[in-house]
Chains A and B, each alone.
Chain A
Amino acid sequence: EPEVTQTPSHQVTQMGQEVILRCVPISNHLYFYWYRQILGQKVEFLVSFYNNEISEKSEIFDDQFSVERPDGSNFTLKIRSTKLEDSAMYFCASSDSNNYGYTFGSGTRLTVV
């Protein structure tokens, strides 16, 4: 069964540092998403990406965040200057339609110290 792959599985970074979270979506999917889940809380939408541009973003996705699809396979989330409250699980997802089931990756646990 096709998978969405995320790397690294766990990243620890110091406050103020930049981090890049990487995702390899399913190859024939066209829609890409980032979500995050703070420990004990619900899964929150960050951003959706289609046709090489952001389709929609949430209030969480401020100027510190950016996404990129640098080549035909990778989809990245960059946090420019991390804050303690950015500590969370970050999930990448992809789908072949914007109203069909998403496939989520296993996540990157980001810890900001």
Chain B
Amino acid sequence: LAKTTQPISMDSYEGQEVNITCSHNNIATNDYITWYQQFPSQGPRFIIQGYKTKVTNEVASLFIPADRKSSTLSLPRVSLSDTAVYYCPSEGNKLVFGAGTILRVKS
């Protein structure tokens, strides 16, 4: 059964780059790797998705090594508004969310 593991929390300061790593145990060959962001009392918001190597969009980059056993979400120059919970859910026929990583950005 596919399962993901990520740090419980991280602290950062405004303007810094933040990297959050996720371990993907038993990831299936055809599964994508996705990351979501959640603010209090809101639904998870899709950030980025990739299969292999590096993907970049307007908010983040995603690095996936060749063995796909881990992924790293990179947030460039974080601001206070990036304080949220970040998830790398396991996939398959449905997303399965873990506890996520609480990112606290301080001024």
Contacts and interface: CB of A to CB of B under 8 A. Distances in A.
Interface residues of A, number: 24
Contact of A103 (B32, B38, B46, B91): B46
Contacts of A104: 43-46
A100 B49 contact: yes
A101 B43 contact: no
Contacts of A35: 97
Contacts of B41: 89, 107, 109
A104 B91 CA distance: 16
Contacts of A100: 32, 49
A102 B98 CA distance: 16
B107 interface: no
Contact of A42 (B31, B43, B45, B99): B99
Contacts of A4: 43
Given A42-B98, A99-B31, A100-B32, A48 B93 contact: yes
Interface in A23-53: 33, 35, 42-45, 48
Contacts of A106: 42-43
B83 interface: no
B34 A42 contact: no
Interface of A: 4, 33, 35, 42-45, 48, 55-56, 89, 91, 93, 98-107, 109
Interface of B: 30-32, 34, 38, 41-46, 49, 87, 91, 93-100
Given A48-B93, A101-B34, A104-B44, 19 more contacts: A4-B43, A33-B94, A42-B97, A42-B99, A44-B97, A45-B95, A45-B96, A45-B97, A56-B93, A56-B94, A99-B32, A102-B44, A102-B46, A103-B46, A104-B43, A104-B45, A105-B43, A106-B43, A107-B43
